[in-house]
Amino acid sequence: MADEQIRFELPQSELPRQWYNIQADLPRPLPPVLHPGTHQPIGPADLAPLFPMALILQEVSRDRYVDIPDEVREMYKLWRPTPLLRARRLEKALGTPAHIYYKYEGTSPSGSHKLNTAIPQAYYNKAEGVQGLTTETGAGQWGTALSIATSFFGLECEVYMVKVSYQQKPYRRAIIQTFGANVYASPSERTHAGRGILAQNPDSSGSLGIAISEAVEAAATSGGKYKYALGSVLNHVLMHQTVIGEEALKQLEMAGEYPDIVVGCAGGGSNFAGIALPFVQKNLTEGKNTRIIACEPAACPSLTKGVYAYDFGDTVGLAPMVKMYTLGKDYVPPPFHAGGLRYHGMASIVCELYDQQLIEARAIPQLDTFKAGVQFARTEGIVPAPEPTHAIATVIEEALKCKESGEKKVILFNLCGHGHFDMAAYDAYMSGKLEDYEYPQAEIDKAMAALPVI
């Protein structure tokens, strides 16, 4: 066993030249995006104040593949292709016949998968003459990635960071500032949206929905100097992340295996989509039968407890309306530590896949995720960020089922980032200060009653 390969590296010549666009293969097209004011389908002109035209065209494209610009691909070479590793020590600790593989995105300069879309977004905005970008961030992974990308292209950057994460993760904040971006705790006094939230609740811990409202307002009121960048949810963002799964397909071929199960954590959907969509394509077009599981927090269970309905992408109602599994735009999650998963909704693509029963969804309690993260660290030597520990918990569960049944299944998951800046969360877990949060049904019912009528 010791002589068998556990690390699979692609040469840079095998770095994908195109992003995969699943809109070309969906059995049923995505529901239209609606204008927040008129509730009518939006067109390119409606999105122009927020996004450059190249990204708007990608958002609505039905082309199966979209070329990656040469300049973007050259920047990808700083860390791509990322390695695929077999978790042999974890397999041994579990006593499972399953083969567990993970795609490790923590080797990127930002420490996560988020740079896969931050660089092309900065590239297209720079090409259109934009001065700077505004954005939100939860745990700080996306804010870090965009601050790096904007520094590469000489753009300014404003980051509205969910207040609880701003307080919990000071080193995430510091690294964003190191790359030249300005970081503000959200809700803030800088925007009308932020001031309105603080007037209602001066002690608001914030949410991604609130931070999105602030970032969208800051871009929309900048007189065209700034555009808005989103790190998840949107179609073009998920498409940029498919370099992960496209590489994994080639690397598993090198390993002589194909996955029976693909697992990814899901908050807005970018990490999950990055690893999963190329395998969904194989299920749809080549008759493969891989089980694909999206793992979300039990404290923010949009897929497993939300309603598939039109809702605003942000709390104030400035962003377009998308049909998605939602807990309601007013949902403010408890301050659990997987900050990148604290979003009231989910990407339209992921929601359609779930509604069409092409993927599964599972909600994981917080304590289970950290237990899994610690076990992974002690066997594989990598401390995972709190977000992918949701996937690891499911991988362990599925591997133990294989132990019981004796089945030798191949399981793949996306380790979308390292936890080097999340040690306060691990410290809280080790000291017994963490607790499980379960989203109450009464709160779900209240939020559902406030959904817009379309």
Mean of the pLDDT values across residues 361-373? 95
Q: What is the DSSP string of 293-320?
A: EEEEETTS-HHHHSEEEEEESSSSS-SP
Chain segment 319-340, per-residue pLDDT in tens: 888 999 998 887 766 655 555 5
- Cα angle value 77/82/83 (rounded, 5°): 140
pLDDT of 379 = 98
Q: Please state the length of the chain.
A: 454
CB contact burial 98-120 (16+ within 10 A = b; e otherwise): bbbbbbbbbebbbbbbbbbbbbb
Q: DSSP letter at 50?
A: T
Q: Are 313 and 345 in contact (CB under 8 A)?
A: yes
Q: Are 102 and 418 in contact (CB under 8 A)?
A: no
421's CB contacts (< 8 A; 6+ apart) are 111, 140, 169, 171, 172, 175
365's CB contacts (< 8 A; 6+ apart) are 298, 436, 437, 438
Q: DSSP letter at 168?
A: H
Alpha-carbon distance of 415 to 101, in angstroms, equals 10
pLDDT of 36 = 86
Q: Which amino acid is at 396?
A: I
Mean of the pLDDT values across residues 21-42? 93
According to DSSP, the β-strands at 65-67 and 84-86 are: unpaired
Is pLDDT at 117 greater than 60 in this prediction? yes
Burial of 452 (0-12, 13-18, 19+ CB in 10 A): middle
Q: What is the pTM of this model?
A: 0.94
Is pLDDT at 381 greater than 80 in this prediction? yes
Task: Count Cα atoms within 13 angstroms, Cβ side, for 419.
Answer: 24
- Name the residue among 377, 319, 400, 391 with its Cα closest to residue 136: 319
pLDDT of 334 = 62
Judged by DSSP in three states, 346 sits in: coil
Alpha-carbon distance of 102 to 84, in angstroms, equals 6
Mean of the pLDDT values across residues 15-28? 97
Alpha-carbon distance of 159 to 212, in angstroms, equals 10
pLDDT of 1 = 39
Is pLDDT at 210 greater than 70 in this prediction? yes
Chain segment 242-261, per-residue pLDDT in tens: 999 999 999 999 999 999 99
Is pLDDT at 441 greater than 80 in this prediction? no
pLDDT category at 414 given cuts 50, 70, 90 is very high
Q: DSSP letter at 23?
A: G
Mean of the pLDDT values across residues 346-375? 96
**Phi/psi of residue 409, each to 5°?**
-85, 155
pLDDT of 2 = 41
154's CB contacts (< 8 A; 6+ apart) are 126
Q: Nearest 10 degrees: CA dihedral of 392, 398, 400, 401? A: 170
Q: Are 247 and 73 in contact (CB under 8 A)?
A: no
pLDDT of 424 = 84
- The residue with tokens 């958002």 is 59
338's CB contacts (< 8 A; 6+ apart) are 139, 265, 267, 297, 366, 369, 386, 387, 389, 390
Alpha-carbon distance of 450 to 454, in angstroms, equals 12
What average pLDDT does the structure give for the chain? 92
Is pLDDT at 413 greater than 70 in this prediction? yes
Q: How far out from the chain centre does Cα 88 lie?
A: 27
Q: Are 285 and 20 in contact (CB under 8 A)?
A: no
Burial of 428 (0-12, 13-18, 19+ CB in 10 A): middle
pLDDT of 336 = 52
According to DSSP, the β-strands at 18-20 and 65-67 are: antiparallel
According to DSSP, the β-strands at 7-8 and 84-86 are: antiparallel
For the record, the structure tokens of 361 come out as 């969804």
Map out the domains of the chain with their CATH numbers.
7-15+72-111+239-449 (3.40.50.1100), 115-230 (3.40.50.1100)
Is pLDDT at 391 greater than 50 in this prediction? yes
Beta bridge partners of 133: 157, 227
Chain segment 263-308, per-residue pLDDT in tens: 999 988 999 999 999 999 999 999 999 999 999 999 888 999 999 9
